[in-house]
Amino acid sequence: MFKNILTIVAMILVITVVGSVLLDQFPTLQPIWNEFKEVVGSFYESSKVKYGVLTTVIFIVGIGILFASSTIK
């Protein structure tokens, strides 16, 4: 259990570092990244209003589990 949590934290750190390096090396991606954050934020807010906070969090966790399980071979 602890190993899984540590792996998740390490992967979040890797994604953060890689994303930071990509945005530093390719500054033209900055507007696209800002637009993506805006779209995700508005989707989250509309989902919160329509379904509630708990259902939205469960939805996000479900998408994460679906993504994680689809990449394992």
Question: Is position 63 within any domain?
Answer: yes
Q: What is the pLDDT of residues 13-58, one digit of tens each?
A: 888 888 888 888 888 888 988 998 999 899 899 999 999 989 999 9
Q: Could you tell me the two tokens for 31?
A: 């507007």
What count of other Cβ atoms lies within 10 Å of the Cβ of residue 51? 13
Indicate the residue type of 11: M
Is 9 within 8 Å of 16 (Cβ atoms)?
no
Question: Is position 8 within any domain?
Answer: no
Question: Is position 58 within any domain?
Answer: yes
Please give the pLDDT value at position 71: 65
Q: Does pLDDT of 72 surpass 70? A: no
Number of independent structural domains in the chain: 1
Q: Does pLDDT of 67 surpass 90? A: no
For residue 72, the enclosing domain spans 44-73
